[in-house]
Chain A
Amino acid sequence: MAGAAVQRRLSWRVGEVAELVDETPRVRSLVMSVQDWPGHLAGQHVDVRLTADDGYQTQRSYSIASPPDIAGRVAVTVERIDDGEVSPFLAGEVQVGDMLEFRGPIGGYFVWDVAAGGPLFLVAGGSGVCPLMAMLRHRAARASTVPTRLLYSARSLDDVIYRDELDRLAAAADGLEVSYTLTRAQPVEWNGYRRRVDRAMLEEVAWPPWEQALTFVCGPTPLVESVAEALVQLGHDAARIKTERFGPTGG
């Protein structure tokens, strides 16, 4: 792929913000157009570095939400943390046309591409859905019919990121099923789950262990730990479960 042979070392580069998408009241995606982007794998992330005019710098990691199938595009989805140092800036102040410094793609453990096959079981807690969305977008871009189930835990329907797109992907009837559990508030006619992900829910939603699914769990540490442990207790192979813990790291 063009550029890959040249940029072997991870180095800082610049992307131009081409589009802003408000996903939920607290969450905004920044779509960057990047020259000579060597491509990435769904699940990888970037480190974004911000520099104030007195030279002060700080850095945050964000999963790449866009699929590798769109050349030169790197989208990150940022949840605004109250009193955060960086997220209110990225999700509130950055404008189209701004330049952001970042490096990547980073990560080789929590990645999936269609060649890895399935079935696929994706478990998301809150903004943990972002790297999993890159996987689903990649799956769709390749018209893959790998059997896939997404279990997405969010506080309420308004907090579900990429909701319309997930509904569209699920409606395509190409082997993707999406289940939600809304833990704090549910709409009046809600038929879905309404509690934290637990073993009983996983037993209903996950593929049976004999399917040898590839599992990716991403979200806050307590969710990731309890889901991984419950799946192993249900008989799933620990070696086929990949985890990524998201934590607010200063906002």
Chain B
Amino acid sequence: MDETRLALDGNAMAGILEELFVSDVTAARGACATCGSIAQVGAQHLYMYPSSPGAVLRCAACESVLMVVVHAKERIRFALQGLTWIEIQGTATT
């Protein structure tokens, strides 16, 4: 079976997001700039990553791109263009 077929969710890009935000982002809520739906990052649809260095996170409701993160060559490029806002509350780590 082709192992790369199964799409993951925002939980699988938690580590790389924490490199930018310092704290966990998967529990953060974000508003989709296209359809307005609000949901936690961990529940959104993740494409490509970690099979590829580029992560495409899409809105679970309308599949529009919320963010793109490319981690290659010791640098990470973040594009958060599909989110109207993202809201982080405290930290979940003990």
Q: In the complex, what distance in Å separates the CA atom of A38 from the CA atom of B25?
A: 19
From known contacts A38-B94, A45-B14, infer whether A106 and B24 are also in contact, taking CB-CB under 8 Å.
yes
Does B87 sit within 8 A of A, measured CB to CB?
no
Q: In the complex, what distance in Å separates the CA atom of A103 from the CA atom of B51?
A: 18
Does A250 sit within 8 A of B, measured CB to CB?
yes
Establish whether residues B8 and A249, one from each chain, have CB atoms under 8 Å apart when the complex forms: yes
Contacts of B41 in A (CB 8 A): 109
- Give, as a whole number of angstroms, the nearest-CB distance from A164 to chain B: 28
Q: Which residue of A lies closest to B10 (CB)?
A: A109
0 or 1 for each of B34-66: is its CB under 8 Å from A? (1 = yes)? 000000111100000011000000000000000
Establish whether residues A59 and B50, one from each chain, have CB atoms under 8 Å apart when the complex forms: yes
Q: In the complex, what distance in Å separates the CA atom of A220 from the CA atom of B11?
A: 13
Tell me which of B3, B11, B15, B27 has the highest count of chain A C-beta atoms within 10 A of its own C-beta.
B11
From known contacts A38-B94, A41-B92, A243-B43, infer whether A107 and B3 are also in contact, taking CB-CB under 8 Å.
no
Does A119 sit within 8 A of B, measured CB to CB?
no
Contacts of A249 in B (CB 8 A): 3-4, 8, 12, 50-51
Interface residue total, chain A, C-beta cutoff 8 A: 39
From known contacts A244-B9, A248-B3, infer whether A107 and B51 are also in contact, taking CB-CB under 8 Å.
no
Establish whether residues A106 and B42, one from each chain, have CB atoms under 8 Å apart when the complex forms: no
Contacts between chains A and B (CB distance < 8 A), count: 108
- Give, as a whole number of angstroms, the nearest-CB distance from A169 to chain B: 23
Contacts of A8 in B (CB 8 A): 22
Does A61 sit within 8 A of B, measured CB to CB?
yes
Interface residue total, chain B, C-beta cutoff 8 A: 30
- Give, as a whole number of angstroms, the nearest-CB distance from A88 to chain B: 13
Q: Which residue of A lies closest to B22 (CB)?
A: A9
Establish whether residues A247 and B6, one from each chain, have CB atoms under 8 Å apart when the complex forms: yes
Q: In the complex, what distance in Å separates the CA atom of A83 from the CA atom of B23?
A: 35
Establish whether residues B12 and A61, one from each chain, have CB atoms under 8 Å apart when the complex forms: yes
0 or 1 for each of A54-83: is its CB under 8 Å from B? (1 = yes)? 000001110000001000000000000100
Tell me which of B7, B8, B19 has the highest count of chain A C-beta atoms within 10 A of its own C-beta.
B8
Does A47 sit within 8 A of B, measured CB to CB?
yes
Establish whether residues B93 and A248, one from each chain, have CB atoms under 8 Å apart when the complex forms: no
Q: In the complex, what distance in Å separates the CA atom of A41 from the CA atom of B27?
A: 13
- Give, as a whole number of angstroms, the nearest-CB distance from B40 to chain A: 5
Tell me which of A60, A221, A251 has the highest count of chain B C-beta atoms within 10 A of its own C-beta.
A221
Contacts of B4 in A (CB 8 A): 248-250
A-B contact pairs, 16 of them (CB 8 A): A8-B22, A38-B93, A60-B50, A105-B93, A106-B14, A106-B24, A107-B42, A108-B92, A109-B41, A109-B42, A243-B43, A245-B11, A247-B3, A248-B3, A249-B50, A250-B3
What 7 additional pairs, Cβ within 8 angstroms, besides A39-B93, A250-B3?
A8-B22, A38-B94, A44-B92, A108-B14, A109-B10, A249-B4, A249-B50
